[in-house]
Copies of this chain bind each other. A is one copy, B any other.
Amino acid sequence: MVHKFKVSTSGRCEMSDITKEVQGIVRENGLESGVCHVFVPHTTCALAVNENADPDVKADIQKKLCELVPEESGYKHAEGNSDAHIKAVLAGSSLSVFVEDGALLLGTWQGLYLCEYDGPRAREVWVKLLRG
């Protein structure tokens, strides 16, 4: 079974914290121990694990990625969002996080993020839980 939830992003390039939503799915489904797989069915956003404390970190990550892969750079793709596809490949479409004692097992400073690169948009996040 695949669990799905929606995320509405509000800027072209932003990181939305999805830790609570994923944690909720783990708890509701009573998974005691296993692996929680997270996947985005999109090609212009991505998933990442990173700092959950100082919001400046999110801003720095997105700013540097936009400097490395700017919105305009002589791309061929006519839709004008090639930079978003490239950033999505660099950050990646999936995450695998451990579950123990019925909860996500993360480091103290870790949160799970949907990294939007072509928003604002309505995005979907898919979660699958494997016992083990």
**B-contacting residues of A (Cβ < 8 Å)?**
1-2, 33-35, 37, 39-43, 48-51, 54, 56-57, 59-61, 64-65, 68-69, 73, 75-79, 82-83, 85-86, 88-98, 100, 105-110, 115, 126, 128-132
Contact = CB atoms under 8 A, between A and B. Distances in A.
A96 B60 CA distance: 28
Nearest to A53: B43
| Interface of A, helix, strand, loop or mixed by DSSP | mixed
30 contacts: A35-B130, A37-B98, A39-B96, A40-B107, A41-B106, A43-B49, A43-B50, A43-B51, A43-B109, A43-B110, A48-B89, A50-B85, A51-B85, A54-B78, A56-B75, A56-B76, A57-B85, A60-B82, A61-B89, A64-B86, A68-B68, A93-B95, A94-B95, A94-B96, A94-B97, A98-B128, A128-B132, A130-B130, A130-B132, A131-B132
A110 B110 CA distance: 28
Contacts of A65: 86, 89
A107 B42 contact: yes
A100 to B, nearest CB: 6
A107 B61 contact: no
